[in-house]
Chain A
Amino acid sequence: MQVDLKVKRFDPADSGGRTWWQEYEVDVHPDSTVLDALIEVREHVDGTLAMRCACRAAICGSCGMKVNGDAKLACKTRVVSLSPNGEQLIVEPMGNQ
């Protein structure tokens, strides 16, 4: 299954606080979660994509992020539940407010 991701990136070393959107396309198992897709990106496409994740079993809390505008644990958010027809998934860091 092809997953289309648009990820908000930033460079912490850049004190200007610049952010940008980066798009990725990966091929993953149909039951994959958003985290599975992101890991596929960092392992095979873009090694600079850094994110916190650990348990991938919805217990540690590390992978909290905003997916399509809502705060989610990426590891328990199934891709097909948010994009049943291959719609692009928007991934951003968790909001601060």
Chain B
Amino acid sequence: MYEHDVLIIGGGLAGLRAAVEVTRAGVDVAVISKVHPVRSHSNAAQGGINAPLTDRGDDWESHAYDTIKGSDFLADQDAVEIMSQEAGEAVLELERMGVIFSRGEDGKLGTRRFGGQKKARTFFVGAITGSAILHVLFEQSLKLGLNVYEEWFVTRLIIEDGACRGVVARDIKTGEMHTIKARAVIMAAGGAGRVFEPSTNALICTGDGLALAYQAGVPLMDMEMIQYHPTTLARTGILISEAARGEGAYLLNAEGERFMHKYAPDYMELASRDVVSRAEQTEIDEGRGIEGNVMLDLTHLGREVIEQQLGYLQEVSIEFLGIDMAEQPVPVQPGMHYIMGGIKTDVDGATNVPGLYAAGECANVSVHGANRLGANSLLDTVVFGRRSAVHAVEYIKGLGKASSAEEDLAFEKTRLQALLDRPKGERSATVRNDMARGLTKGIGVNRDQATMEGALENLLNVKTRLNGVSVEDKGKVFNTDLVFALELEFMVDCSEAIVAGALARKESRGAHYRTDMTERDDENWLKHTLVYKDSSEEHGTRVETSPVTITRWEPVERVY
């Protein structure tokens, strides 16, 4: 019998920060994660975490405005205000917990400049900030005695009387299916990068959380907002942090020109990511690329700066491409990296399903709107991870857990057994590859009606093949083949929502850039898209819209 007051799905930054907060409130909590918590994709975040600290002559309004402008005015300003106001304390608290942030010569927490911001307010640990923070939060959870269902895979949310009351999950190590009842569930299962190919994301980023919430009736908001990071390593797609540009690296085309002056004369390489990615794509498409890449030049920074501040990047460059960044520029190209879109929540992480919360990359408050600023995701995770926990702790008072989850468990056991029993068909990897390549082609840095319809057509074809996917491994113990088939189904749900959102938004805004509708249309489209799973609709989706919350910053033209 597994039951808790609060159950958190995902052991990354948002999940662990929430777990720490719930434990501090003296409430029974557990984390369920399909990987050991420190293997969560939060560990791959490199560059840093933003915080406006007043003792540096910074102010929260400046960070909030940069974030809102970065979002191309799609972010909900009340949520951004909260994030910017809480940022300072969030980062200082991490430092007190033991994150060994890099420091300047004066011994103070050192900052670097990050995209879309004039002020240097990004705090960092070399080029491994996410990993450093994740390890510290994991230590804190160990200290607090946190219960972790490690390598357990959630297959379904338990919804009883319209509220979320737990999960059905498979213990990957034994193959046994269980229910875990809870009074509230916080979804912190991360992004969906593997829905694209290539992507900077880990193999585990399969949109499980997004799909589970979507299946439970929660709308996915602004799913067309896909961030292509400007500097992903040629061929491997491995992320090269914005921190390189923050420390002064240049972007050069085949003519050795710092081409950003044509697209963002003020911010140059540190314009918002969508602007930089589009600039690179234009250079490449117009023949000024080098084998589909542009060059990231760090040679003028000097070996010491590279090794001290960007050590991990140098390691990656040498290990994977055999290039010494101090000697030569590195070939990079835009690569799918982050999804601004996600589970619609309010500023406390609550969704339209009572008892179901969401925080981190899987959620969309919205603080990132149509484009996320670098170093704002790490901030998002800890701020809203904490807030979800605080709200969940209040919500559960006086509430019961799932009364009986027998039906859900039986349903899932039958469903999974049926999957295992399917006759030999296609492997999940083949279908996933086709789906991901098709989606990337249709919903890339640039898109138009034709490419997006192409993505839809590709997806419809993939859906017809879904029930024919078979699993070679029929065993119970550590059956990753089965897990991949389940993840594929989640990925198809995410794809469906992405395509629906993309076709719905008839304008260009932030990362959603339509070459057939290049202008931003505030009059008609200053709104969020909401995609609901709806089997009565043509492609299984229903798109609605909702207004953007404007507090003090009227949308203006966005120029970098």
A interface list, Cβ under 8 A from B: 11-13, 29, 31, 42-44, 46-48, 50-62, 76, 78
Contacts and interface: CB of A to CB of B under 8 A. Distances in A.
A48 B44 contact: no
B473 A76 contact: no
B238 A48 contact: no
A13 B429 CA distance: 25
Interface stretch (B34-42, B55-63, B400-408, B551-559): B34-42
Q: Is the interface of A mostly helix, strand, loop or mixed?
A: loop
Contacts of A60: 38-39, 41, 43-44, 202
B262 to A, nearest CB: 31
14 contacts: A11-B475, A12-B173, A44-B430, A50-B478, A50-B481, A51-B480, A54-B39, A54-B203, A56-B238, A57-B200, A57-B316, A60-B39, A60-B41, A61-B39
Contacts of A58: 315-316, 319
B41 A44 contact: no
B131 interface: yes
B478 A54 contact: no
B43 A13 contact: no
Given A59-B43, A59-B44, A60-B39, A54 B477 contact: no
Contact of B427 (A13, A44, A55): A44
Given A44-B429, A50-B481, A55-B39, 17 more contacts: A13-B476, A43-B429, A47-B471, A47-B472, A47-B481, A48-B472, A48-B475, A48-B481, A50-B479, A52-B35, A54-B39, A56-B238, A57-B44, A57-B202, A57-B239, A60-B39, A60-B43
A11 B477 contact: yes
B39 A62 contact: yes
A42 B485 CA distance: 13
A54 B35 contact: yes
A13 B476 CA distance: 8
B36 to A, nearest CB: 8
Contacts of B200: 57
B475 A13 contact: yes
Contact of B473 (A29, A48, A55, A78): A48
Which residue, of A29, A50, A58, A60, has the highest number of chain B Cβ atoms within 10 A?
A: A60
Interface in B61-85: none
Ordered nearest first, which 3 A-B pairs have the shortest CB separation?
Answer: A47-B472, A43-B429, A47-B481
Given A48-B473, A50-B473, A55 B320 contact: no
A38 to B, nearest CB: 12
B203 A31 contact: no
